[in-house]
Amino acid sequence: MPLNRKQIILFFLFLAGFSRLYAQDSTLVGKTISWDLVKCIDYAKKNNIQINSLRLSAQTSQQQYLLAKAARLPNLSGSASQDFEHAKTNGGNSNNNSFTTGGTGSGLTASGAYSLNSNVTLYNGGAITNNIQQTNLQVQSANLTVLQQENDVTLQITQAYLTILLDKENIIYDTDLVNTSQAQVKLEQQRYDVGSVARYALIQLQAQHATDQYTLTNAQNTERGDLLTLKQLLLLPSDVNFDVIKPDTIVPIDSVAEFHTVEQLALNNFPDVKIGQLGVKAAQYSVDIARAGYKPTLTAGASLNSGYLSTQGNYFNQLGNNFNQQLGFNLTVPIFTKRIVKTQVEEAKIQVDQAQLNLKNESITLSETVERAYINIQNAQSQYKAALEQYNYNKEGYRIASEQLKVGVANTVDFLLQKNLFIQAQQAFIQAKYNELLTLKIYDFYRGVPIKL
């Protein structure tokens, strides 16, 4: 069974719920704020936990890219050792490069060794270069994943925001109905007091007035609940008094962009497909990196060394006399690798095929999403036009019935029937109006138009 809009919103709210306390903006604590849709979206992009987590992942990818670039550089390490040896000695005899003079006894000798070592890879089949290119693609992909999550959050906030606007308009209409029914009860009470109408007619209007008040209360409760949903989606502190700004007017849709144009714009610009394209390129680099295992590796190494022994004279003279330099090259040629390299290459090729399937799936999914958005907006347009016509006719019928009731020529049952028809038409009209607006904003979003009211 497909999820309705409130279930979708609550699902995303659940995902963020456990960690929301750690992401709240302390500068808003205790304040009363009213935000428009753009402000809500901007705040969500800045504070959403999933988005910020992906930003940290992007920073990690950047560090991996810098590490891959540094593989071209030589390393440099230094080492130093200091040893002390205590041993019995026999005058005039040497033992292990140590000796004393003047008879049998014991002696303490000290020795030290110092070195600087450096190694650099001169050639390894292009593995370093390909790894740099691959990690660069991974950085781009990580940044696009952040944008992808921002798009998802934008649509969630938009849907929640427009739901509140719908609630507010319902409250306006329901308040008007309550005021009207209250006036009708007052007039009918006057007629009953003078004996011109039966008590049953008065009770019917009183019951209708109570029903209108109940409907208004439900609308107000719904608004409070939907405001809480948006507030929690935004991760606002619990003691913030939050409300949204209702735009002055909501303009009906005049025209809708052609589907294939919007589809192509989405395929060219949305991060979903770009991430898939980068995934294919990164997988191709994995094949090149694996193939480097067939090629020889050439490295160069250099070292500087010196040392001293306490029994052999001046310390600094020894360091100079023992100072030596070494430079060498090492060539490794793979001859037989027990199918290890071949397996790595074949597995990398499979990853390329999988990445191409993922790209195809992302493209199809995005195209289907845009097409569904296009169908939704067409349906919403036709529904809005029908609901508007229905609303206008029932509004006029209700007006006439109200005038007839006022002058005492209308039957109460017929009046209430007409009023219920008007209420149903009014609710359908409001729902259709905001549904049309929501579908338009979503459709325009896929063609690159920022969401705002």
Residue 211 and residue 303 in one domain: no
Q: Please identify, among 333, 350, 382, the residue that sits at the C-terminal boundary of a domain.
A: 333
Judgement on whether residues 221 and 318 belong to the same structural domain of the protein: no
Interval 64-92 mean pLDDT: 88
Which of 181, 75, 186 minimizes the C-alpha distance to 121? 75
Stretch 403-407: mean pLDDT: 88
Evaluate whether residue 451 is within a structural domain. no
Mean pLDDT, residues 151-167: 95
Between strands 105-123 and 297-309, the pairing is antiparallel
308-367: pLDDT as tens digits: 998 888 989 999 999 999 999 999 999 999 999 999 999 999 999 999 999 999 999 999
pLDDT given for residue 283 in this prediction: 97
In a domain, 452, yes or no: no
H helix intervals, 307-339: 315-322
CB within 8 Å of 351: residues ≥ 6 apart:
283, 286
**Residue 145 and residue 134 in one domain:** yes
User: Is 453 within a domain?
Assistant: no
Residues 243 and 325 in one domain: no
Same domain, 256 and 321: no
Give the pLDDT confidence score for residue 94 in this predicted structure: 43
pLDDT of res. 103: 44
**Claim to verify: residue 367 and residue 420 sit in the same structural domain:** yes
pLDDT digits (tens, 9 = 90+) for 44-76: 999 999 999 999 999 999 999 999 999 999 999
Res. 263: pLDDT tops 90 = yes
Predicted TM-score of the model (pTM): 0.83
How far apart CA 107 and CA 87 sit, in angstroms, is 6
Q: Are residues 361 and 407 in the same domain?
A: yes
The string of pLDDT tens digits covering residues 265-324 is 999 999 999 999 999 999 999 999 999 999 999 999 999 999 999 888 898 999 999 999
Question: Is there a contact between 388 and 434 (Cβ–Cβ < 8 Å)?
Answer: no
Domain carrying residue 87: 75-123+296-333
**pLDDT of 89:** 59
Residues in the chain: 453
DSSP state letters, 258-275? -HHHHHHHHHHH-HHHHH
pLDDT tens across 95-123, in order? 444 434 444 455 789 999 999 999 999 99
Token digits for 49?
Answer: 């936990």
Residues 145 and 39 in one domain: yes
- Tell me: do 308 and 261 sit in the same domain: no
Question: CATH number, domain at 191?
Answer: 1.20.1600.10
> Which DSSP category does 21 fall into?
G
Residue 256 has pLDDT above 50, yes or no: yes
Question: What are the distances in angstroms from CA 361 to CA 153, 251, 277, 355?
Answer: 22, 36, 11, 10
In a domain, 250, yes or no: yes
The mean predicted confidence, pLDDT, of the chain is: 89
Cα pseudo-dihedral 364, 370, 372, 378, rounded to 10 = -150
The count of domains in the chain is: 2
Cβ-count burial 303-314 (b if 16+ within 10 Å, e if not): beebbbbbeeee
Does residue 276 sit in the same domain as residue 142?
Answer: yes
Between CA 147 and CA 173 the distance in angstroms is: 39
Pairwise pLDDT comparison (117 vs 94), residue with the higher score: 117
Q: Residue 31 to residues 17, 194, 237, 239, 266: CA-CA distances in angstroms?
A: 22, 54, 10, 8, 39
